[in-house]
């Protein structure tokens, strides 16, 4: 018995030594990844965001209809339920019932009811509207669709356009504008903050006072004022990049201040002084020695800034100052929800808001996981 216990203790000690050796020779990014995997919410957020961006990249394939396709007889049609059971035939392949439009004799409003005489089976990889995939080749294959009929998973809007397809198409602008805006914020914050923190003196005072002024201005009114200055006749691409630049005007200030504080603390470290004594240029010292020392923190800051960009675009488009039709974004889709009466009768018009909420929550969870993993040596 004693020999068995000693053997087990020896095996456990050998495992501990291997684990210690593994951590000792691991790089900083390996340690961050090992700790990040323990954050369950962050892993779920990474998976959900991956699905959202996959839908945005291949939106033509995943959406059953085009964003501008109208169904004349189905204005403000409610969402259809996917069914797998029929009273007459029992359990079967997923399908949707048709809808018939009738006028309410009391309110004189059009309403839709289920038409069980029409049944449309759902199929994968169906042929539908033709589209040019990524501008490279034309095809008409969609992930799913209704056989010899229609399917409106999220209903239709006031013009009879499928809301599910428009949400999928809108994710391309709403999700990408956060990444592009944060990239500009990242570049401006690192360059301006690096100059301010490393050189100091008069340059530092000028940059810091400019940052103080920008931060003191209320964000939304400033965005509205700058957005109103954009020409209304600009095409979609120009408006997209114009809104992206506007959202980046304020975002870089906070990152620049953080970078400045880090560089003030690190520029006098031994390795920085040694690089300077070895004849390294100022730019090389900043980019090769100082910035990598807190790169993990910068990644966390960028991740937490993306949802702010998405919310900014959604708010501006919702107010009619951002993206404009025929462009499709989540903010543009929510413009139809400004009418309280319309929302009361057609609550499915608020579904794009759920996608905004889920996206922002997932980015916050991801940022929390990265923040906890940024210090891989903490217990």
Residues in the chain: 379
| Residue-level pLDDT at 236 | 76
Residue 89 has pLDDT above 80, yes or no: no
Burial of 31 (0-12, 13-18, 19+ CB in 10 A): middle
Higher pLDDT, 117 or 107: 117
Q: Are 77 and 156 contacting, i.e. CB atoms less than 8 angstroms apart?
A: yes
In the chain the domains, ranked by start, together with CATH numbers, are 80-151 (no CATH), 169-373 (1.10.3720.10)
Q: Express each pLDDT in 154-188 by its tens digit.
A: 999 988 999 999 999 999 988 988 888 888 888 88
| Rounded Cα distance, 117 and 96, in Å | 11
Residue 14 has pLDDT above 70, yes or no: no
Higher pLDDT, 124 or 3: 124
- How much of the chain is helix, strand and coil, in % rounded to 5? 60, 15, 25
Q: What percent of the chain has pLDDT over 90?
A: 17
Higher pLDDT, 28 or 127: 127
The reported pTM is 0.83
- CA atoms in the 13 A half-sphere facing the CB of 59: 22
Q: Which of 35-44, 103-112, 221-230, 267-276 has the highest mean pLDDT?
A: 35-44
Q: Express each pLDDT in 307-330 by its tens digit.
A: 888 888 888 888 777 787 888 889
Higher pLDDT, 68 or 283: 68
Q: Express each pLDDT in 334-367 by its tens digit.
A: 888 877 777 888 889 999 999 999 999 999 898 8
| Residue-level pLDDT at 233 | 75
Residue 151 has pLDDT above 50, yes or no: yes
Which residues make Cβ contacts (< 8 Å) with residue 53, sequence separation at least 6? Answer: 175
**Token pair 């980015």 in the structure block, residue:** 363
Q: Are 170 and 329 contacting, i.e. CB atoms less than 8 angstroms apart?
A: yes
* CA torsion through residues 336, 340, 345, 346, sign: positive
Instruction: Please state, rounded to an integer, the average pLDDT across all residues of the chain.
Output: 81
Q: Are 334 and 353 contacting, i.e. CB atoms less than 8 angstroms apart?
A: yes
Confidence band for 12, pLDDT divided at 50, 70 and 90:
very low
Residue 7 has pLDDT above 50, yes or no: yes
Q: Express each pLDDT in 230-275 by its tens digit.
A: 777 777 777 887 888 877 777 788 888 888 888 777 777 777 788 7
| Residue-level pLDDT at 167 | 94
Residue 379 has pLDDT above 60, yes or no: no
| Residue-level pLDDT at 26 | 62
| Residue-level pLDDT at 15 | 47
């Amino acid at each position: 018995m004693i020999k068995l216990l000693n053997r087990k203790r020896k095996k456990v000690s050998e495992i501990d030594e291997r684990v210690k050796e593994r951590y000792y020779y691991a790089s900083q990014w390996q340690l961050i990844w090992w700790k990040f995997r323990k954050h369950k919410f962050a892993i779920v957020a990474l998976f959900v965001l991956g699905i959202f961006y996959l839908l945005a990249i291949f939106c033509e394939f995943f959406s059953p209809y085009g964003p501008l396709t109208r169904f004349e007889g189905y204005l403000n049609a409610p969402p259809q339920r996917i069914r797998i059971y029929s009273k007459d035939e029992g359990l079967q392949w997923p399908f949707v019932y048709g809808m018939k439009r009738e006028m309410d004799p009391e309110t004189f409003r059009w309403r839709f009811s289920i038409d069980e005489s029409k049944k449309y089976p759902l199929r994968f990889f169906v042929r539908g509207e033709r589209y040019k995939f990524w501008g490279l080749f034309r095809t008409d294959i969609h992930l799913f669709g209704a056989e010899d009929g229609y399917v409106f998973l999220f209903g239709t809007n006031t013009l009879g356009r499928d809301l599910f397809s428009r949400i999928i198409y809108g994710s391309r602008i709403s999700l990408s504008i956060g990444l592009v805006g944060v990239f500009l914020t990242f570049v401006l914050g690192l360059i301006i903050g690096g100059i301010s923190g490393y050189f100091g003196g008069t340059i530092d005072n000028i940059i810091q006072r400019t940052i103080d002024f920008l931060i003191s201005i209320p964000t939304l009114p400033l965005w509205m004022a700058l957005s109103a200055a954009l020409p209304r006749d600009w095409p979609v691409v120009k408006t997209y990049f114009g809104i992206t630049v506007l959202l980046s005007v304020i975002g870089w200030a906070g990152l620049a201040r953080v970078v400045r504080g880090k560089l003030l603390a690190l520029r006098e470290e031994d390795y920085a002084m040694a690089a300077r004594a070895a004849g390294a240029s100022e730019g090389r010292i900043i980019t090769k020695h100082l910035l990598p020392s807190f790169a993990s923190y910068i990644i966390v800051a960028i991740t937490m800034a993306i949802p702010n960009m998405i919310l900014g675009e959604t708010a501006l488009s919702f107010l009619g100052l951002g993206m404009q039709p025929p462009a499709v974004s989540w903010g543009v889709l929510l413009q139809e929800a400004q009418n309280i009466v319309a929302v009361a009768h057609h609550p499915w018009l608020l579904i794009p808001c759920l996608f905004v909420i889920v996206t922002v929550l997932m980015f916050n969870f991801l940022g929390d996981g990265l923040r906890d993993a940024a210090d891989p040596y903490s217990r």
